[in-house]
Structure 1
């Protein structure tokens, strides 16, 4: 297919360059046993301070250890009241007896204990983080294992640690009524991501990023959609001063149509598409447009935020 197209389809956006009928995946080895953990801390348990410290540590942890923080509203220990919980989650490619001293040395503020940890196979860990029973693993073949709901997602990449005051304001927004069905998933970068060049593949968000934040709000009644979408837009606006800039980067797999869309008539200029294209792909966007122009100049494969050719019918 040529080196350019092969580069583009590995992260350049689905429904843009054609239909992939077959592919090969290069697997990497994992140990027979991994260790997962969850440590929940709410506002009354210094969640803000612990998260503030996590920002300075997570991207420097060994490559065998992945960590994330899930932020959501939960019931408080005080009857009838709510609080905000930071769930510190992780997976270690090894046993619990090796993980505990590692965390105690690198991140003692978390207070990780053996009862927070579970050893399992790597494929079971996928079910663990997906909120599904870890047995039987065949549930992964069931496309309807998780309930479906309407949602709106927005993303950010953070390159500098947020100050405690910024974190407090962020957490407090989850106490609002509209945040009843909201979650923010914060995933640490560093490690292998720092070793891959920005232009090696279309996905450019790698070296220098501390973590990615994915803000999600869900609803069941469509008449409530506007209320929840307005809330997540306010959350996104609040975060503007704490995240990447020029451009404010975004993750293409969570398409955010707030960033802009292709014209309905099928023609979108490079300048128009750059509004969201540079956020998703940074400097790789120009190469993606050139490849699109070469292999699909009539823009047959398109969607609201597909890469447009340099000219269209």
Structure 2
């Protein structure tokens, strides 16, 4: 008996020593790779007469003073802060394209993966975390904007945020805009390469629909424009996820025309049979709304003012009309008279409030203003008080604002009983949110294969599901993520099918991840066809041409599909 115990102890001890040796070797290996990588970057920088001091301005190792600051600023969903998967060996913050080129070539020399971040709003953090040693390229310094009003175009580097872009356009013109996203701190690199939609989607389509050229660095460090990369490559990066194919350096975008005055509004209602009737009417008519009108609905469950008080599920209608308030009010009186919006509300920028049983509640608000003010409005700011400089102000993420999201597309109106299910599930959560974003308009006139983004004609609207929580321990996170999966499952009968479609810019690893266990392309189809439908096959063929050895890879990167021609 004693001998068996000694043998067992010996086995455990040997196993522990082996494990310790492996860990030690791995640590030494990481350290050696880190040093070799830095030496490589230093050598390449020396060819450009860059000193080590200059190198330290854009190469940030884990022991540098600004390493943690850069990571925190970059992770807008802080679920992965302080995890090993979000701890790159080095953070690169390039000022110029040569620094990006050196990073790509040195990373390949030492078999390091790269992650490319422009704004950090990646819902699953795939642009700034990795399970193996990696280098993070943070493009936030690459923010040059060149606007040509005569040609109504602009070149923007991909570190430019939407707020910076909108602000610069407004400084030059009050009748031009760009159909990008709704939140100022989102980076243009990721948003456009995934499609990108906002309040102008029904009038002008996606952000990616309004790209007319680009500059990209490929796996070999070459800088290509539309002519030199070819139309297949150019097609793939506009809605197919640019970081699967290279590093997008700049977009050439087409500016669009907007009136000098536009009108934005929000109308709040409690979840009730009356408000659900409005939701049903919105669903049935949304595809026939004027193209100048974007209107969305959101369900939310705000916490009661009185602790332990009854929760009220809100159903809110929010919109932007590309025109003056009088025309909007006329249309609303014919289609949604229950909103009770009038011209005086809008012309004076009024917020109408009334007392509720538990809390003061806002019933409606309406503003007529220049288009640039709508960027503040949809960012949740008061457009009458907040200065436009808010759009360009760096914003650190809230460290207690953890979240999980999913998405759907809807092709036929959802029955009223589905919203009863939503209400029941909302009452189980503290901070849930569902957004219904109107589609139609120009989106109906663009082919599914025009760019990789395929969710066009036949879709009434897009759904975004979100849930937020304050504490990021394992059990707390698991509870909220499981809730999200439940509501997603409950909604399955009511949304698009074959495949059940999702929006790439709302990445969701529950849909599937790349696997090396069997055919790479087949395993990736589980998630790829949900984002891209039939375009996924073409994307994989493009990937095989431009990155045949799959250097630019991550959990949901486009796989290379090699085939005989």
Q: TM-score with structure 1 length normalisation?
A: 0.93
1:299 aligns with 2:550: yes
Secondary structure of 1:82 counterpart? coil
For 1:110 and 1:145, how far apart are their aligned partners in 2? 36
Alignment of 1:231-310 (within 5 A): 231-263=483-515, 269-310=520-561
Q: Please report how far the alpha carbon of residue 270 of structure 1 lies from its aligned counterpart in structure 2 after TM superposition.
A: 1.4
| Of 239-248 and 167-176, the range deviating more from structure 2 | 167-176
Checking the alignment, whether the CA contact within 8 Å between 1:48 and 1:164 is kept in structure 2 is yes
Closer, same or farther in 2 for the Cα pair 1:181/1:75, shift >3 Å? closer
Secondary structure of 1:74 counterpart? coil
For 1:63 and 1:290, how far apart are their aligned partners in 2? 35
For 1:76 and 1:44, how far apart are their aligned partners in 2? 17
Alignment of 1:117-132 (within 5 A): 117-132=366-381
1:225 aligns with 2:453: no
2:251 aligns to what? 23
1:41 aligns to what? 269
Q: Please report how far the alpha carbon of residue 32 of structure 1 lies from its aligned counterpart in structure 2 after TM superposition.
A: 1.5
For 1:143 and 1:159, how far apart are their aligned partners in 2? 38
Closer, same or farther in 2 for the Cα pair 1:62/1:95, shift >3 Å? same
Higher relative contact order (CA 8 A, sep 6+): 1
Q: Please report how far the alpha carbon of residue 200 of structure 1 lies from its aligned counterpart in structure 2 after TM superposition.
A: 0.4
Checking the alignment, whether the CA contact within 8 Å between 1:266 and 1:299 is kept in structure 2 is no
Closer, same or farther in 2 for the Cα pair 1:93/1:54, shift >3 Å? same
Alignment of 1:104-115 (within 5 A): 104-114=333-343, 115=345
- RMSD in angstroms over aligned alpha carbons? 2.1
1:9 aligns with 2:237: yes
Q: Please report how far the alpha carbon of residue 260 of structure 1 lies from its aligned counterpart in structure 2 after TM superposition.
A: 0.5
Unpaired runs of 5+ in structure 1? none
Checking the alignment, whether the CA contact within 8 Å between 1:50 and 1:110 is kept in structure 2 is no
Closer, same or farther in 2 for the Cα pair 1:171/1:111, shift >3 Å? farther
Secondary structure of 2:332 counterpart? helix
For 1:207 and 1:111, how far apart are their aligned partners in 2? 32
Checking the alignment, whether the CA contact within 8 Å between 1:47 and 1:85 is kept in structure 2 is no
State which of 148, 163, 171 in structure 1 corresponds to 2:423.
171
For 1:172 and 1:234, how far apart are their aligned partners in 2? 12
For 2:301 and 2:519, how far apart are their aligned partners in 1? 41
2:179 aligns to what? none
Q: Please report how far the alpha carbon of residue 14 of structure 1 lies from its aligned counterpart in structure 2 after TM superposition.
A: 3.4
For 2:509 and 2:469, how far apart are their aligned partners in 1? 18
State which of 100, 103, 124 in structure 1 corresponds to 2:332.
103
Checking the alignment, whether the CA contact within 8 Å between 2:299 and 2:313 is kept in structure 1 is yes
Checking the alignment, whether the CA contact within 8 Å between 1:268 and 1:308 is kept in structure 2 is no
Q: Please report how far the alpha carbon of residue 172 of structure 1 lies from its aligned counterpart in structure 2 after TM superposition.
A: 2.3
Runs of 4+ aligned structure 1 residues displaced above 4 Å come to 75-79, 265-268
| Of 119-128 and 76-85, the range deviating more from structure 2 | 76-85
Checking the alignment, whether the CA contact within 8 Å between 1:48 and 1:168 is kept in structure 2 is no
Closer, same or farther in 2 for the Cα pair 1:75/1:261, shift >3 Å? closer
C-alpha deviations, 1:159-206, integer Å up to 9, x for none? 110111122212221111xx2111111101111111111100110001
Checking the alignment, whether the CA contact within 8 Å between 2:302 and 2:431 is kept in structure 1 is no
For 1:171 and 1:193, how far apart are their aligned partners in 2? 30
For 1:137 and 1:157, how far apart are their aligned partners in 2? 33
| Count of residue pairs brought into register by the alignment | 309
State which of 448, 451, 455 in structure 2 corresponds to 1:201.
451
2:408 aligns to what? 156
Secondary structure of 1:67 counterpart? strand
Q: Please report how far the alpha carbon of residue 139 of structure 1 lies from its aligned counterpart in structure 2 after TM superposition.
A: 1.3
State which of 182, 186, 207 in structure 1 corresponds to 2:432.
182
